[in-house]
Amino acid sequence: MLKIFLAFIGWCVNLSNYKAGNLSPKGCVADRQLCPCVRTAIGVACRLAIRFPAVHRVKSAIADARKIFLTITTYFVCGLSVFLFAAEDLPGYTDCPFLPDSKWRVHDQTRPQPKIVSSGTGDLNVTPPNDAIVLFDGTNFDAWRRNNGKPIDVPIENGAFNIHQTGQLRTKQVFGDFQLHLEWSTPTKREDRMNWGNSGVFIMDRFEIQIIESHDSFIYADGNAGAIYGQFPPLVNPARKAGDWQSFDIFFTAPQLDENKLSVPAYVTVVYNGVLVQNHQQILGTTLHRVLPGTYPLKETGSIMLQEHHSGVKFRNIWIRPLK
């Protein structure tokens, strides 16, 4: 079938060389792998077109049909190529396990991307309420520690710090239920899809709310900014341009234990640039890459961790309100 299809296209292309009154039956069918009946029919049609002027109308119709066919074929081939290349370039995987009670796999390549919406204003430079614990106000790192215990001796510029310079940071205090506000900005310079602006807010050191450039780039749906990583994509995508300041307001309900066993799972609500993207969503387990959510930690409190993931994401204006 492929040979016949290519032969037919080749014949059509060859026809494009014929001008009015210059048809050549020999050129029309030479070296084409068409059946003798088709070659004969084409030869007869060409000779008739030469001998009888009235037949030129038929020739014109054939030429028009050829143009239409070539146009459709070109669009079809180009469209098919784009589709195939796009399919290969789709972010995500097809071999990860299915999430519990879901038709989607972890990082599913076919999972729909969240709808893009434009965020409003008023979510930045928010003054903390008087019962909040200020974690970072642009002056010092007193509320944070490094994993290795070394001092955080990196510059603070314009009230913000670069997580690529500090390395991963954890709060010195631990929290259960809370309201957390923080502002972040991804680098303006384009990086590869998996690393451009890649960071995250880890709740209790185990549950990640993803940070990544999601305005001009995207990865698998459950890896976009505002996702519960590897579990639930954001409901919509309100990302601002790379380099612009963005905000998270996270409302977390901690898991509850009964006799050292999980009795109530954790829930999280996330407001991203003033737009709700997670609505009291149950967290299935610890957030991991390409595998099912991990086992819940047997604790009801934990620190807040800011992830360093090979990109110079900046943070500022971080405060938290413990809710119990």
pLDDT tens string, the chain, 324 residues long: the values are: 544 444 454 544 444 443 333 443 334 433 444 455 545 555 555 555 555 555 556 567 677 767 777 777 666 654 554 444 444 478 999 999 999 999 999 999 999 999 999 999 999 999 999 999 999 999 999 999 998 899 999 999 999 999 999 999 999 999 999 999 999 999 999 888 788 999 999 999 999 999 999 999 889 999 999 999 999 999 999 999 999 999 999 999 999 999 999 999 999 999 999 999 999 999 999 999 999 999 999 999 999 999 999 999 999 999 999 997
Q: Are 202 and 304 in contact (CB under 8 A)?
A: yes
User: Cα 284 to chain center, whole Å?
Assistant: 21
3-class secondary structure, 131: coil
Which amino acid, one-letter code, is at 297?
P
Token pair, residue 262, equals 């999980």
How far apart, in whole angstroms, are the C-alpha atoms of residue 17 and residue 213?
A: 51
* Tokens matching residue 94: 């097809």
Structure tokens at 66: 């050829």
pTM of the model: 0.74
**Helical (H) or strand (E) element with 211:** strand 207-211
